[in-house]
Amino acid sequence: MLNQVRLLETEVIRLKDCDLNFVNEVIEAGGKNAQLCFSCGTCSGGCPAVYTMDYTPRQIMRMVELGIKDKIFKSNTIWVCAGCHSCTTRCPRGVEISKVMAALKSIALRNGYPPREPGGPAWYNSFMEVIRNYGRVFEPELMLKYNLKKTKNPIELAKALLKDAPMGLEMFRKGKLILLPDKIKHREHLKIIQENIRKMRAEA
């Protein structure tokens, strides 16, 4: 009887370590069509962040299907995924891989696994604060908030800001960076949406 599967060329997984219901948990957390993956690898081929990942998106999808949770939660892939949707738009099976990645992040946190990328939560929280304030991204404030969350040491903060400065100048030179925030109307609705999300998470 088959009692093991090969995930990578060098890695054999015992079936007793698999949770075949895990894929349903991922779907319930927002990972639409996760069960439809047929491992073609198109997602990995088009992923701009794959070079930083310890498992490719295709391998993560395979692990989701097999329910190899521990490896997924400990991998850096779910944390470095940029949520760019490139994989989702190319997947021939309609798997919403970027939502699968987001679902895996939230399940990992729920299960007490810390983010593999320490800057991740600082980035997400800073991004959400800026969006709540303006309804749009305002990069100078985003970078300031992000770096302030990562360190309270003034020297380290100055170093981090100086490191980002050349990219900021280049963006400004190309007209990609504004110096005052662009605000949408009815920003109070964003606060209500975020508050409802917070309540839903607390009840989950």
CB-CB contact of 149 with 122 (8 Å) = yes
Selected range binding ligand SF4 among 23-31, 37-45, 145-153, 185-193, rule: CB under 6 A = 37-45
Q: In the set 42, 106, 133, 151, which binds ligand SF4 (CB under 6 A)?
A: 42
| Site size toward ligand SF4, by CB under 6 A | 27
CB 22 to ligand SF4: min, Å: 16
Select the span of 1-9, 39-47, 165-173, 192-200 touching ligand SF4 (CB under 6 A).
39-47
Using rule CB under 6 A, residue 49 touches ligand SF4 = yes
| Contact window for ligand SF4 (CB under 6 A) among 56-64, 125-133, 148-156, 163-171 | 56-64
Residue 127 sits at the vertex; the CA angle it makes with 105 and 64, to the nearest 5 degrees, is 15
Contact between 33 and 96 (Cβ < 8 Å):
yes
CB-count burial class (<10 Å; 0-12, 13-18, 19+) for 102: middle
The pair of three-digit structure tokens given for residue 36, joined into one six-digit string: 């439809």
Dihedral angle over CA of 173, 179, 184, 186, nearest 10 = 170
31 binds ligand SF4 (CB under 6 A): no
